[in-house]
Amino acid sequence: MNITALQTFLAIVDTGSLVRASQVLHVTQSTVTARLKTLEDELGQQLLNRQKSGTTLTPAGTRLLRYARIMTGLWRQAQHETSLPAGLASVCTLGCDRELWHGPGRNFFNGLISGNPEMAVSVLQGSGRDLEEWLATGVVDVILTFDTLTRGNQTVHALPPEELVLYSDDPETPIDAGSFYIFVDHGEEFRRQHAETYYGAGVARVSFDSSWWALQTMLDRGGSAYLPRSLAAPYVDDGLLHQLDAPIYTRKKNLIVNDASAQNWTWFTPLVAVLRTAASG
């Protein structure tokens, strides 16, 4: 089964006849007939009733119609996403954990855009599991993630760990009894360390799995929360947030690349060096 045959089948259904379908597709009627016959032979079913007044769907054709529309729609989407705009010679697709966009994600993107004007860039946001699967199946070329799981033909480039620091809108906030403490879930290791440190603090009234949402809540309503230093730094500089004298935790960050994609990327190793310098600065 091929896309052209399905597109021809849909053209016949939409126009109501083989003649009109051939006009829409700009091919001869015999070509339309041959494509339809090939599709029917492959499926072993008659798909259309041919009459002088036009064509109607058989039960098998009715069942195929929905799938034909889905398959041709996906093909159009794939063509759109993989085709290169005029003047561009290559493409790089980055998968990024949403918690890493504010630091290495943006740095990678900006370095890629600035240093490779001939390259098209696509960015996808996903969970650790999503990113791992996308890299393995070739949906993305490189990922920024907290995880380290890899499959064959992938290389892990460890980045400096992310510092998770306790911030508050009020510098006098007690570290273990803030009136509006927001718990941000930074992963399994953070949860364990946090529970050991604040074992007597009880359960936070508000929790998020997004540092950015927690930050916006703090700016709107006040409060305290553990946030990545790189995310909070601009607000500390502006006096909107204050670092509290509390334990600082770290979270590993990794850039994992598909080796087949990166084999001709002369820009990749220098950009990784830039990411490491920026993250440690």
The series of mean pLDDT values per 10 residues for the chain, 281 residues long, is 88 91 90 93 92 90 90 73 67 90 91 86 86 84 87 89 94 80 93 89 86 94 94 95 95 92 88 83 48
For residue 77, the model assigns a pLDDT of: 62
- Please count the other Cβ atoms lying within 10 Å of the Cβ belonging to residue 114: 9
- Please count the other Cβ atoms lying within 10 Å of the Cβ belonging to residue 38: 15
Angle at 25 between CA 33 and CA 45, to 5 degrees: 35
CA distances from 281 to 43, 102, 229, 260 (A): 62, 15, 11, 31
**Residue 231 resides in a domain:** yes
**Residue 88 resides in a domain:** no
- Residue 206 belongs to what domain range? 162-251
Encoded amino acid at 206, one letter: V
**Residue 263 resides in a domain:** no
CA distances from 275 to 107, 116, 234 (A): 7, 16, 19
> In the chain, how many domains are there?
2
φ, ψ (nearest 5 deg) of residue 143: -130, 150
**Residue 199 resides in a domain:** yes
**Residue 19 resides in a domain:** yes
Domain boundary among 37, 59, 82: 82
Domain boundary among 82, 98, 113: 82
- Distance from C-alpha of 135 to C-alpha of 212, rounded to nearest angstrom: 25
- Distance from C-alpha of 150 to C-alpha of 156, rounded to nearest angstrom: 8
264 secondary structure, DSSP code: T
In this structure, what CATH number is given to the domain that contains residue 50?
1.10.10.10
Residue 12: CB partners within 8 Å, gap ≥ 6?
Answer: 18, 21, 32, 36, 48, 55
In this structure, what CATH number is given to the domain that contains residue 173?
3.40.190.10
For residue 86, the model assigns a pLDDT of: 67
**Residue 68 resides in a domain:** yes
Q: Closest Cα partner for 281 from 230, 241, 232?
A: 230
For residue 126, the model assigns a pLDDT of: 85
**Residue 240 resides in a domain:** yes
**Coil, strand, or helix at residue 138?**
coil
CA torsion 159-165-169-172 (nearest 10°) is -160
Q: Closest Cα partner for 205 from 182, 174, 178?
A: 182
For residue 1, the model assigns a pLDDT of: 63
CB 104 within 8 A of CB 279: yes
**Residue 167 resides in a domain:** yes
